[in-house]
């Protein structure tokens, strides 16, 4: 990677607007939101329920299209891209972790992590090697043959994180990833996320209600009247 990659945010949200219709009444959720996410930096998004955190994450992850504004990925605008191109960027550059693990129940931890790499076209032997490494790195080396129901909540969430980073994305977006976990387990999962930022230089945005965890991240932002504001 050259100099240029470091000078440009991995994700830049510019003047994002998003409305939902509530019956006949338009409900403005995001109203000119701006946010830059940088390689190697962890950002906490702390805001009340219903303020638009998930909406912002979905837009940053190209899962949802804003009504106005632009999402730049590594400096390139995405609003005019065809669906197939957006999907390609999602596969290679963006990792997403949800509050519930959303692992495929029929598959083992290893297979769940292998799948996105196989879809991307990597050789099976290569995906086994990479997936085993990532799972071991996250402390799941002894659990790779377990199915989701044979894992604890924290373990399931760490498999979901392994799956999200399997294709070495530039950005990891996590929507209340520790929301369903007890404090100790949440701490463990949070630690795994922080470890990945340092080890892989990924940019990370985590929506969370946990102020203690947010306090340990590089930067904190909130949503006020549809705009992103820096905290502190
Ligand atoms: P948060 O993640 O901060 O709790 P969300 O982004 O999920 O907030 O939602 C923000 C607001 O937008 C909420 O009031 C929610 O009801 C509304 N909303 C979210 N998605 C939709 C949708 N698909 N249709 C209509 N309203 C929605
Ligand atoms: Mg939400």
Give me the pLDDT at residue 2, please. 46
Average pLDDT of every residue of the chain: 94
180: how many CB neighbours lie within 10 A of its CB? 16
Q: What is the pLDDT of residues 184-208, one digit of tens each?
A: 999 989 999 999 999 999 999 999 9
Q: What is the pLDDT of residues 117-163, one digit of tens each?
A: 999 999 999 999 999 999 999 999 999 999 999 999 999 999 999 99
Q: What is the pLDDT of residues 85-105, one digit of tens each?
A: 999 999 999 999 999 999 999
CA distance 165 to 202: 9
Q: Is 52 in the pocket of ligand 1 (CB under 6 A)?
A: yes
Q: For residues 10 and 200, what is the distance between their CA atoms, to the nearest angstrom?
A: 13
Kindly give, in sequence order, each residue whose CB lies less than 8 Å from that of residue 171, ignoring residues fewer than 6 positions away: 10, 11, 37, 60, 61, 93, 94, 95, 202, 203, 204, 205
Mean pLDDT of 165-169: 94
Report whether pLDDT(232) > 90.
Answer: no
Mutational test site, ligand 1, from 16, 29, 57, max ligand atoms within 8 Å of CB? 29
Assigned token pair, 112: 């769940």
Does the reported pTM lie above 0.85?
Answer: yes
pLDDT over 70 (residue 1)? no
Is 29 a pocket residue for ligand 1 (Cβ < 6 Å)?
yes
| Burial degree of 191 (CB within 10 A; 0-12, 13-18, 19+) | middle
- CA-based angle 182:183:186, to the nearest 5? 85
């Amino acid at each position: 990677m050259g100099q240029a990659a470091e000078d440009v945010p991995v994700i830049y949200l510019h003047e994002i607007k998003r409305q939902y219709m509530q019956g006949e009444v338009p409900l403005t959720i995001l109203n000119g939101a701006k946010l830059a996410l940088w390689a190697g930096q962890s950002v906490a998004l702390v805001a009340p329920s219903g303020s638009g955190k998930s909406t912002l994450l979905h837009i940053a992850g190209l899962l949802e299209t804003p009504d106005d504004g632009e999402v730049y990925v590594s400096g390139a605008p995405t609003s005019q891209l065809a669906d197939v191109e957006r999907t390609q960027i999602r596969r290679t550059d963006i990792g997403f972790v949800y509050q519930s693990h959303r692992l495929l129940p029929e598959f083992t931890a290893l297979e769940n992590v292998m799948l996105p790499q196989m879809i991307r076209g990597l050789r099976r032997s290569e995906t086994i090697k990479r997936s085993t490494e990532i799972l071991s790195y996250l402390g799941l080396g002894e659990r790779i043959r377990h199915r989701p129901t044979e894992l604890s909540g924290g373990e399931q969430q760490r498999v979901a994180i392994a799956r999200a980073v399997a294709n070495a994305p530039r950005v990891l977006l996590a929507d209340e990833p520790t929301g369903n976990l007890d404090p100790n387990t949440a701490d463990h999962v949070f630690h795994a996320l922080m470890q990945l930022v340092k080890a892989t230089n990924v940019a990370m945005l985590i929506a969370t209600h946990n102020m203690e965890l947010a306090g340990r991240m590089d930067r904190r932002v909130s949503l006020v009247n549809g705009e992103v504001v820096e905290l502190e």
